[in-house]
Chain A
Amino acid sequence: MATVRSVWKILVYWLIIGPDKMKSQSSKLKVQRNPKSPNSNLKFGFLVFGWALGFVVWSFATRADATRLYFEPTNTTASVGSDVKVDLMLDPEGEDLNAIELEVTYPEDLLVPKDLLTGRSVISIWVKQASLKAGTLNLAGIIPGGFSGLIDPETDKLGPGLLASLIFSPSRVGTADLNFTAAKVIKNDGKASPANLKTQSGLIMIYNSINATSSAYDYHDQTPPNDFVPEIVTNSSFYAGKYTIIFATQDDESGIDHYEIKEGKMDFKRAESPYLLENQTLNDTIYVRAIDRAGNEQTVKVMPRNSKFSYKSILLPSTVLIIALLSIWHFRKRKL
């Protein structure tokens, strides 16, 4: 401790009197412990200033070290049978972040998952589509360009951003903890440095009656997902260079639940991007459908690159037809 104090004193002296005079002042530092020293007031002041400066440096440093994951509200109450909503929040606290992956557990015997809304999430692209089932919330996603906080237009200050809203239907009386069992947040620095992270669990007190303070959750999304443009690509890095379709869109209300694809006359089937096309000749119209968590749909069409009626496909039937007609004509002519 004495060493730390000495370092502070030297630092403060250096700051105030400059390096040139440090040598001549060094003897004075040695008499710091003498309370009757004529410079004791000054030294006390330096000491206090040193502590204050330390506080400044420490508090400034911790501003960028306190990225928080927490629930809003942190503690709430709910009634059995009445839905309750809690928001999972990310507060960068001055840090610039661009990737998040986490897992949260909840007691299945107390909470029945009703819905998971991601439409207002600050996550732009989902690496792992958020899921809320079997006692676990899972999500992973990125924020291209980084996220330092949601801007408040009134003050231009930065605040926390929403990651997802969890809707539960409490099934019986009890205390339900929402615990972070895994969480990783990465800085937007190009080096994938991990952010120093603090997590704060959530708590839902479930009662049998109207003792609950939380308002009943009532939400209806009638807006389809945003329009989007799928892209057919080939790359040797995936699916052995075969034709693959990639797609992504946003839903500003409840969030994207899943995608479906239909190639030509085939039925729609559930799909994830990147999706290996079954018809590699690209002569079918492809339909990609985004479905949000409320069931609204946005279907977009990708026109076939190649025509079904190629030169080769009509050559053989045409030749057969011509030969048949010539044969009939020749046969009739001979008969006459």
Chain B
Amino acid sequence: MRQGALLIIAAIILRVAVVAYADTSSVSVSIVTPACSDTLDNDSDTLVDYPADPGCSSLTDLDETDSVVTPTPECGDDLDNDSDGKTDYPADLGCDSTTDTSESGEISVGGGGPISGGGGATVITVTQVIFEGTAFVGAKIVVLADGVFAGSTKTKNDDSFVLTIPEISPGTYIFNIYAVDLSGRSTRPFSYALQITKNTLTYITGIKFSQIEEGTVGVCPPRADLNQDCKVDLVDFSIAAFWWDRSLEGEFKQIEDKFLSGDGEISLEDFSILAYYWTG
């Protein structure tokens, strides 16, 4: 009985492992709202977001905190800062020590004023999607959003890549990302369905493309390229859509037979083949 119980436990562990394996992916999705475009004064310096807050280097900067700069004290900087002919401590009587921050004399001229000016701030917001990962030498990374080209980049020297879609309207998107090698051959795309929300940065990290093996794929899609331009895109879709609910005629009969399902009509199955080989 004990052995039986052990075997049941083993089966349960196996089941958990199967589920875990099925759900595990190295790709991770995270959403952040950049501090420099969130319309909030995150560092309480009365200045909000880029470019008003000096702590922001861009709209996508995640930290609004001002960088701390320690100036060299005037009384130790080898300069005649107050133009009185005397330089630094102890020559300049305005200096109490080498760490005195002002060479000026004891008597100050003029008054104070606001540290920084105000004014009507223009709210600038940003909604971006950023893809990060690794590919192979010389790879070109291409991203489609809902089947339409959205951006491309080249891998860096260390084979990593960062591809940013700089401005995208909020909504539900299917992103396809694939790599193209130096011969023009493409990997199968990875597909990510995401809800993009306003004023956020969505990071998709951990994407990994392996080198395309020789002889496995050609430069042109083997099917669905109805107009033979080595792409499967809206033009091919439109050709198929034209024949939807129509009897096939002329040369398109052969095209359907060669590049689509070959069942003599345009149906959902043909559009599925188009969607599979879609290059955008």
Q: Which residues of A contact B (CB under 8 A)?
A: 41-42, 44-49, 52-53, 55-56, 59-60, 63, 94, 96, 98-101, 119-122, 124-125, 127-128, 140, 142-151, 153, 156-157, 161-162, 184, 186-192, 223, 226, 231, 233, 235-239, 244, 246, 248, 250, 252-253, 273-274
Smallest CB-CB separation from A190: which chain B residue? B276
B3 → chain A closest CB, angstroms: 4
- Residues on B with C-beta less than 8 A from A252 are 169-172
Given contacts A140-B268, A150-B194, 16 further A-B contacts (CB under 8 A): A52-B10, A55-B11, A55-B15, A98-B275, A99-B275, A100-B268, A120-B171, A122-B172, A145-B278, A146-B191, A151-B194, A153-B30, A231-B235, A233-B235, A246-B234, A274-B238
B169, B174, B193 pick with most chain A CB within 10 angstroms: B193
Are the CB atoms of A124 and B146 closer together than 8 Å?
yes
Q: Mark B231-259, 1 if CB is under 8 A from A, else 0.
A: 00011011101111000001110010000
Contact A250/B171 with A125-B147, A147-B191 known, Cβ cut-off 8 Å: yes
Smallest CB-CB separation from B1: which chain A residue? A41
Are the CB atoms of B272 and A192 closer together than 8 Å?
yes
> How far apart are the CA atoms of A186 and B243 in the complex, in Å?
20
- Residues on A with C-beta less than 8 A from B66 are none
Contact A186/B171 with A49-B7, A60-B18, A147-B191 known, Cβ cut-off 8 Å: no
> How far apart are the CA atoms of A151 and B255 in the complex, in Å?
37
Q: Mark B118-144, 1 if CB is under 8 A from A, else 0.
A: 000000000000000000000000001
List, sorted by A's number, 12 A–B pairs whose CB atoms are closer than 8 Å.
A60-B15, A99-B268, A124-B147, A140-B271, A144-B146, A144-B147, A161-B193, A190-B223, A231-B234, A237-B227, A238-B252, A248-B234
**Residue B280 at the chain A interface, CB threshold 8 Å:** yes
- Residues on B with C-beta less than 8 A from A45 are 1, 3-7
Are the CB atoms of B273 and A56 closer together than 8 Å?
no
**Residue B269 at the chain A interface, CB threshold 8 Å:** yes
- Residues on A with C-beta less than 8 A from B30 are 153
Report the 7 A-B pairs with minimum CB-CB distance, sorted nearest first. A252-B171, A52-B11, A45-B4, A145-B176, A144-B278, A49-B7, A192-B269
Smallest CB-CB separation from B224: which chain A residue? A190
B10, B144, B172, B235 pick with most chain A CB within 10 angstroms: B172
A-B CB pair tally, cutoff 8 Å? 198
A163 → chain B closest CB, angstroms: 11
Q: Mark B1-26, 1 if CB is under 8 A from A, else 0.
A: 11111111011101100110011010
Are the CB atoms of B11 and A192 closer together than 8 Å?
no
Contact A142/B271 with A153-B31, A153-B202, A250-B171 known, Cβ cut-off 8 Å: yes
- Residues on A with C-beta less than 8 A from B10 are 49, 52
- Residues on B with C-beta less than 8 A from A273 are 238, 241
- Residues on B with C-beta less than 8 A from A253 are 171
Contact A48/B28 with A246-B234, A246-B235 known, Cβ cut-off 8 Å: no
- Residues on B with C-beta less than 8 A from A157 are 23
Are the CB atoms of B171 and A119 closer together than 8 Å?
yes
Smallest CB-CB separation from B146: which chain A residue? A124
Contact A53/B273 with A122-B193, A150-B172, A235-B227 known, Cβ cut-off 8 Å: no
Q: When the two chains form the complex, which single residue of B4, B29, B174, B226 contacts A145, counting CB atoms closer than 8 Å?
A: B174
**Residue B48 at the chain A interface, CB threshold 8 Å:** no
- Residues on B with C-beta less than 8 A from A148 are 191, 193
Q: When the two chains form the complex, which single residue of A42, A46, A101, A188 contacts B275, counting CB atoms closer than 8 Å?
A: A188
**Residue B270 at the chain A interface, CB threshold 8 Å:** yes
Contact A56/B18 with A99-B268, A142-B272, A153-B31 known, Cβ cut-off 8 Å: yes
